[in-house]
Amino acid sequence: MPLVPLRPVLDAAVQYGYAQGAFNVNAVAQAEAVIAVHEMFRSPVILQGADLANAFMGGRTDFQNGTLEDKKKGAKNIAEAVKKFAAQTAIPVVLHLDHGKNFDSCAAAIEGGYTSVMIDGSSLPFEENVELTREVVKYAHAQGVSVEGELGVLAGVEDHVFAANSTYTNPMSAIEFFKKTGVDALAISYGTMHGASKGKDVKLRREIPTAIRECMNHEGIQGALVSHGSSTVPRYIVDEINALGGDIQNAYGISKAELKAAIPCGISKINVDTDIRLAVTRNFRELFRDHPELKEDSRLSGVWKLLDENRSAFDPRVFLPPVMDTVMFGTGDDGSVAQLTNAMRQGVKEAVGSLIVEFGSVGRAPLVEMTSLEDMTVRYKEG
């Protein structure tokens, strides 16, 4: 079926009291795998491409320096692939921009085919964040595209998003933000962190989403609360990577128990990126261990060289530049390259599948109202 906006997927999660995982991808094969595992569990899908992931998918291997044109190319590449996979399934699929840096990044994603965008103005003063977010909402809603904002600052590192310390979201400010911007969803800061080093035994401040949700209900505000920086960083995968020659230290995630306990407090969307990166990196290392001849393969020797030279890295984008056509378009996915992409798919399915179950979205696809962008355009116009 065609891609759907984020709003109806999150409306169902709010109404029925579960959380929808949102999973970041950086390659066509990863997107295919995320959709396939959700289909197996009859769950709705939220695929996320981060702002700089679009630059990477546009062919910019030094994606930190990606231009707006790179992002436009990448948004189109990933959207075309996701649309193709979505057309072959009966479950709802959303393509969501994660951490849009500015208005132009959001517009580029929408132009490329994204059905939902996040504008991250959390580093700005409150009124400037409101103004930027309101501008994106006006532009996106006119095209039926959903919008997520952010209020409060998460510590940690994710692409161009960096903060040394967290600033927790003020519940009353969150209510004001919803009212002034009209966002469909709001990412809040309540103890999660970006990256793989979140600290041991993190305890989430569940009173924050609880207070926000209670105030939203009192004020009649419809919308969803989002948990960023929520990867669980499975210890067994980290240990396996290190046993295979990696060197990942100080890697701790948010426990599944903490995340599950936040769901009845009002969290309806949970973002996960690092878990996928780790599982894919582990599988790459296993592939070259089990098939050492691939280290000299004409198509994959460059991947192995980058793996061997970057032992502390676990972002697959570090290792994938030698096979960029396959990453960007899914072409050339045969022979030895197919061995690599199959390892990637299996890693994605392992990381994502367990969280679909934990977050409670198994079997929830039929609960989502199948709403087109055109339908949402009318709804937004009517308020």
Residues with catalytic function:
98
Residue 299 neighbours by CB under 8 Å, 6+ apart: 322, 323, 332, 335, 336, 337
> How many residues does the structure list for the chain?
383
SS3 252: strand
Rounded CA gap, 346 and 368, in Å?
Answer: 27
Q: How many CA atoms lie within 13 A of 137 on its CB side?
A: 25
CA atoms within 13 A on the CB side of 324: 14
Q: What is the CA radius of gyration of the chain?
A: 20
Instruction: With H, G, I as helix, E, B as strand and everything else as coil, classify residue 187.
Output: strand
Separation between Cα atoms, residue 198 and residue 177, nearest integer Å: 27
The whole-angstrom distance between residue 329's C-alpha and the CA centroid of its chain comes to 20
**Whole-number Cα distances in Å, 273 to 192, 214, 232, 270, 378:** 13, 29, 10, 10, 33
The phi and psi torsions of 2 (rounded to 5 degrees) equal: -65, 155
